[in-house]
Amino acid sequence: MPPRDEAEKKEKKGRPWLTIALLLVILLLSGGYVYYFFFGDSSRSMTAAAPAGNQASVNMQKMSLEPIVVNLADPGLRRYLRAKITLEYSDARLTTELNDKLYRIRDTIISVLRSKKTDDLQNEDALKRELLTAINSQLIAGQVRGLYFEEFIIQ
């Protein structure tokens, strides 16, 4: 019987190293996943917004607006919103019209944002659609295709 006890002792000694190695591999893989998810490919959020296979998106123009600060319409609360918006469009001729009507576009954006309560700002996609509709109603030479919030702070 002594040989059997020695064999069991050898098996038990080998198992902790196997367990440690397996845990180390799992830890490294999960750490790599977390790193990639939080710090990795930062362009994935921008590419997800662009429609797949759209060749026109290659020649898109953009215009970044100065930050806009507005008081929100929350009754009894003194809250404000600070937003920095970038407009995206495909027609280069629209650049001139946007520059000429920049005061109107900013006023339109301010009017829409000022009418919102904090709860209304939770659905960002609906807000973007509403702003795009309001901005495009001011334009003749073309349409703004995308609206992106570079900064969106509610305080």
Contact 72, 43 (CB under 8 A): no
User: Is 68's pLDDT higher than 80?
Assistant: yes
Name the residue among 84, 86, 91 with its Cα closest to residue 49. 86
Name the residue among 84, 60, 59, 82 with its Cα closest to residue 69. 82
Q: Which residue has the higher pLDDT, 19 or 127?
A: 127
139 backbone dihedrals φ, ψ, rounded to 5°: -105, 150
Angle at 70 between CA 67 and CA 74, to 5 degrees: 145
pTM over 0.85: no
User: What is the predicted pLDDT for the residue at 23?
Assistant: 83
Q: What is the pLDDT of residues 110-123, one digit of tens each?
A: 999 999 999 999 99
User: What is the predicted pLDDT for the residue at 47?
Assistant: 38
Report the greatest alpha carbon distance in the chain: 96
